[in-house]
């Protein structure tokens, strides 16, 4: 069995034709444990070798490695919502394949913000699956953002009440007009 590499980074198997295709298929399952999407089989020019071009598999493998690297570096944005982080997380997981629940749960936790991790640590429910972790995380984040919205609404109302300064009390416009007329009529206005 000869393994050749061309300049285009395509890898080619060359085998004598007397190997059976069934044997070839069994050998490929040992070499490529993940089944390739598509394998092209062609005869070489001299007719003595069967060439198997596995570049589609390698392209898929590169995409998987890229998705794994992106998942490993995926972090939730400060001030962002868990729902968008989980959507990105699931997108990367769909391109990777099956890592197992524990590994995926670890990667999901790794990218969460510390405020959510703190709440997860003190959460009374037992987190025994990835879906359970996602559900609880979404619930905690929803509570957090609701409380932030309530605080911001409360703070917006508060400055209006604090605008009235006791040293400069606000007088209604009608009363101000009456005072001006009174000062004008009683000659209390000083002209310079």
Q: Contact, 41 vs 50, CB < 8 A? A: yes
Q: Contact, 127 vs 102, CB < 8 A? A: no
Query: How far does the chain reach from its first CA to its final CA, in angstroms?
Result: 110
The rounded distance, in Å, linking the Cα atoms of 86 and 101 is 15
Q: Contact, 32 vs 54, CB < 8 A? A: yes
Asked whether residue 139 falls in the same domain as residue 86, the answer is: yes
Specify if 175 maps to a domain.
no
Asked whether residue 99 falls in the same domain as residue 43, the answer is: no
Asked whether residue 12 falls in the same domain as residue 54, the answer is: yes
Specify if 164 maps to a domain.
no
At 3-46, the pLDDT tens digits run: 444 444 344 444 444 445 555 555 655 565 554 444 444 444 44
At 64-118, the pLDDT tens digits run: 889 899 999 999 999 899 999 999 999 999 988 788 999 999 999 999 999 999 9
pTM of the model: 0.52
- As for how many domains the chain has, the answer is 2
The whole domain housing 18 covers 2-60
């Amino acid at each position: 069995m000869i393994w050749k590499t061309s300049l285009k980074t395509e890898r080619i198997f060359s085998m004598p034709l007397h190997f059976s295709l069934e044997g070839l298929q069994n050998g490929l399952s040992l070499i490529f444990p993940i089944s390739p999407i598509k394998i092209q089989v062609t005869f070489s020019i001299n007719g003595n070798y069967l060439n198997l071009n596995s570049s589609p598999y390698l392209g898929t493998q590169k995409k998987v490695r890229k998705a794994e690297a992106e998942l490993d570096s995926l972090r939730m944005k400060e001030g962002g919502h868990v729902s968008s982080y989980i959507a990105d997380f699931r997108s990367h997981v769909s391109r990777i394949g099956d890592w197992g629940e524990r590994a995926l749960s670890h990667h999901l936790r790794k990218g969460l913000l510390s405020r959510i991790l703190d709440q997860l640590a003190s959460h009374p429910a037992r987190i025994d699956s990835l879906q359970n972790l996602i559900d609880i995380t979404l619930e905690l984040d929803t509570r957090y953002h609701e409380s932030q919205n309530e605080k911001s609404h409360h703070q917006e109302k508060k400055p209006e009440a604090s605008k009235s300064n006791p040293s400069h009390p606000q007088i209604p416009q009608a009363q101000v007009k009456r005072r001006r007329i009174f000062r004008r009529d009683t000659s209390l206005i000083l002209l310079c």
